[in-house]
Copies of this chain bind each other. A is one copy, B any other.
Amino acid sequence: MSRVVNGVRNVDPEIQDVVRRAIRTTGYSPNGAARSLVTRRAQTVALLISGAGDGFAARVFTDPFFGRIVSGAMTYLRGHAMHPVLMFAETVAAREQVVGYLRQGSADGALVVSIQADDPLPRMLLDARVPVVLFARPSQPLPVSYVDMDHYAGGRLAAEHLLARGCRYPATISAPGDLPAGRDRLAGFRDALQRAGRGPAPVVEGEFTLDSGAAAMMRLAEDHPEVDGVFAANDLMAQGACQIVREQGRRVPDDVAVVGFDDSTVAITCRPPLTTVRQPVEKMAAAMAELLAGQLQGSVSSPTHTLFDPELIVRDSA
């Protein structure tokens, strides 16, 4: 009976038929807990959104970015009979709860998305011997698998596009300084400029918010009025920049070209629609799930890193 449910080979077709019929008429359905108890697999992975901050939970899902991760992870998981359990780990207590959950075998492994530079969770999970895959390289080196985008290439892409469309004085509104990804984007941007024989570009640090993008643009306009191209480290800041440019009576992209990052929803709703660097988030998340699955079935043992290429989406802002 177990054999026909689980499709083990070498079962008499006739007896198979009888069992199947019985199952259908009885409305039988195998019990997951019992199965898990013996197989030691929950067919479940934890999807952890990790980081600190006020109103964490509320804020996180307001950003379509996480939605895309969830969506991408699910595309892989659903095809492999695995299910994602969503958990937040934003406080000490929450992190302990997460680790406890994993330790009791309710999930077979964890996909973790940190939104904080120094997140203690990955190490905690590793110490608890939980199979883990991270979204993005951890700021501290850790023996763990992760997927990431080539942020350096992303910054380069933005710089090259600005240059190609004739910008003479490109500047950038950068990410908060402690994010490795942000530093990479900045480095890529700078190096591309340098390779093109340009001097150092003005940099104003933003905080990924609309307002900080606007504020940064105001400072840029004041300190460097010659700036005619801006690369913002995310779309929201790019939108803030666009708003300021227009409020100052100048035009995007004619007077100031603006390139965003992420290709989020605001990239489309912004006026003008943003030219932006897109991360293949869904693909990355799916790869993350696949990496974890490999780890679970034991085919992969040592930490693996998969890097993805950014894509420049050209719209009207640059």
Contact residues of A with B, CB < 8 Å? 29-37, 42-44, 47, 57-58, 60-64, 66-68, 70-71, 74-75, 78, 83-88, 94, 97, 100-101, 103-106, 210, 236, 239, 243, 265-266, 268-271, 282
**How far, in angstroms, from A32 to B239 measured CA to CA in the complex?**
47
Nearest residue in B to A40 (C-beta to C-beta)? B33
**How far, in angstroms, from A66 to B66 measured CA to CA in the complex?**
11
- Can you give 10 contacting A-B residue pairs, CB < 8 Å? A31-B104, A32-B101, A32-B104, A61-B68, A70-B86, A83-B86, A85-B86, A265-B266, A269-B270, A271-B271
Contact A62 B265 (CB under 8 A): yes
Chain B neighbourhood of A74, CB < 8 A: 57, 86, 88
Chain B neighbourhood of A71, CB < 8 A: 57-58, 60-61
Q: How far is the CB of A289 from chain B (nearest CB, A)?
A: 13
**How far, in angstroms, from A88 to B73 measured CA to CA in the complex?**
12
With A84-B85, A104-B30 in contact, do A67 and B78 touch (Cβ < 8 Å)? no
**How far, in angstroms, from A31 to B105 measured CA to CA in the complex?**
6
**How far, in angstroms, from A210 to B266 measured CA to CA in the complex?**
12
**How far, in angstroms, from A97 to B97 measured CA to CA in the complex?**
29
Contact A104 B29 (CB under 8 A): yes
Nearest residue in B to A29 (C-beta to C-beta)? B103
Chain B neighbourhood of A84, CB < 8 A: 85-86
Contact B83 A85 (CB under 8 A): yes
Chain B neighbourhood of A34, CB < 8 A: 33, 37
**How far, in angstroms, from A63 to B265 measured CA to CA in the complex?**
9
**How far, in angstroms, from A75 to B55 measured CA to CA in the complex?**
11
Nearest residue in B to A235 (C-beta to C-beta)? B269
Chain B neighbourhood of A87, CB < 8 A: 78, 83
